[in-house]
Amino acid sequence: MALDRRQFLFIGGGTLAAGGAVVAFLSQRDPERSVDLTVIPEPPPREPRGSDLIIDNNAVLPKQHIATLSALVDAIYPGAVAAGAFDYIMQQLRRRDMQGARRILMRGAAQSHRVAIANVNAAVVKATPEQQVEVLQAMLEGAGAKGAFSPGEFVQFMVALTLEGLFAHPVYGGNIDGAGWKLIDYEGACRAPTLKAPL
């Protein structure tokens, strides 16, 4: 009801629609917080829809970042990549309003690589799942901070995106054939059979 609904809206509105503003959605921070005033990018002329994708798939991220972020997604939730969570993230990063987020993920990929080398003596993609989680935990605690980049918020953002890629409707590019819903036996209304395209 009430609070959940509003948390729901705040969290979501911040997570994706803020486009570059990392939002507190987890318990480490006030869950009702929304967007940090200082990191808002220039507003787009209007809210883009699916047809407003501005970059093609090949230009979303450098290859090395794709590999790193994909590995992190599977580290966050084992099996998430096979269920389509990383496909979802790539799809989202093509949106005009996600370009701020894309920059954060690129910085996060680079910094996680550095933290991995320093902490587990291996690149993220070569590290074991346990080591990858170790890297993420270290970043949650502040490892890899650089300038305005907050490694903790990066990890939180990645968790949010991963869960969206697992459990949001497949029309958004993840949760392939409902693979994420099968993981949790989800049979509820958010399967939205009438939904044929992103709203």
Partner 1 sequence: MTDSADVVVIGSGAGGAPLALELARAGVKVVVLERGKYHKREDFHYDELGVARRDFLVPSARTDPHIVMETGKAAERSNEGWIAVCVGGGTVHWSGFAYRWRPEDFRIRDLLGPIAGATHANWPISYDELEPFYTKVDAEVGISGPTDEGEDQVGPRSKPYPLPPVATHEAAGALLDEAAKRLGARCTITPRAVLSQPYQGRQACHYHDVCGSFGCNVGAKGSTMEALIPKALATGNCEVIAEARVHRIETDATGAATAVVYRDAAGVDHSVATRAVVVAASAVESVRLLLMSTSESHPDGIGNSDGQLGRNFMFSTLSKAHGSFDYAKTPKWREVFASRAPFLGRSTASYYMPRDQKAGVIKGGGLGFLFPAGGPVFQSELVAARGEGLALGAALKERVERYWKGQRQIDCETFGEYLPNDGTRVDLDPTVTDSLGLPAARVLIDRHPQDLKVSEYLGQRGAEILDAAGANDVWITSLGGSTKHLPMGGCRMGDDPRTSYVDRDCRVHGAPNVFVSDGSVFPSSGGWPPTMTIMANSFRVAAGLVDAFKQRDL
Rule CB under 8 A: choose which of 54, 57, 62, 79 binds partner 1. Answer: 79
Rule CB under 8 A: choose which of 57, 129, 146, 177 binds partner 1. Answer: 129
The yes or no reply on residue 77 touching partner 1 (CB under 8 A) is yes
- How far apart CA 103 and CA 109 sit, in angstroms, is 10
Rule CB under 8 A: choose which of 27, 51, 58, 63 binds partner 1. Answer: 27
Supply the minimum distance, in Å, between the C-beta of residue 165 and partner 1: 9
Rule CB under 8 A: choose which of 47, 57, 59, 62 binds partner 1. Answer: 47
Rule CB under 8 A: choose which of 110, 125, 140, 176 binds partner 1. Answer: 140
- 11 contacts: CB under 8 Å, gap ≥ 6: 23, 25, 31, 160
Which of 36, 52 has the CB closer to partner 1? Answer: 36
The yes or no reply on residue 116 touching partner 1 (CB under 8 A) is no
Which of 43, 58 has the CB closer to partner 1? Answer: 43
If DSSP states are collapsed to H, E and C, what string results for 155-188? HHHHHHHHHHHHHCCHHHCCCHHHHHHHHCCCCC
Rule CB under 8 A: choose which of 12, 53, 66, 114 binds partner 1. Answer: 12
Q: Which of 87, 88, 86 is nearest to 70 (CA)?
A: 86
Six token digits for residue 192: 């939205």
Rule CB under 8 A: choose which of 22, 60, 76, 120 binds partner 1. Answer: 76
Task: Pick out residues in 159-198 that bind partner 1 (CB under 8 A).
Answer: 159-160, 163-164, 166-169, 171-172, 180-181, 183-192, 194-195, 198
The yes or no reply on residue 136 touching partner 1 (CB under 8 A) is yes
Rule CB under 8 A: choose which of 51, 58, 147, 199 binds partner 1. Answer: 199
Span near partner 1 by CB under 8 A; candidates 16-24, 62-70, 102-110, 115-123: 16-24
Q: Between the CA of residue 195 and those of 39, 46, 180, what are the distances in Å?
A: 33, 23, 17
The yes or no reply on residue 128 touching partner 1 (CB under 8 A) is no
Q: Between the CA of residue 16 and those of 23, 97, 114, 138, 145, what are the distances in Å?
A: 9, 8, 26, 24, 22
- How far apart CA 144 and CA 115 sit, in angstroms, is 6
Six token digits for residue 175: 């949760």
Q: At what angle do helices 129-140 and 151-167 cross, to 10 degrees?
A: 130
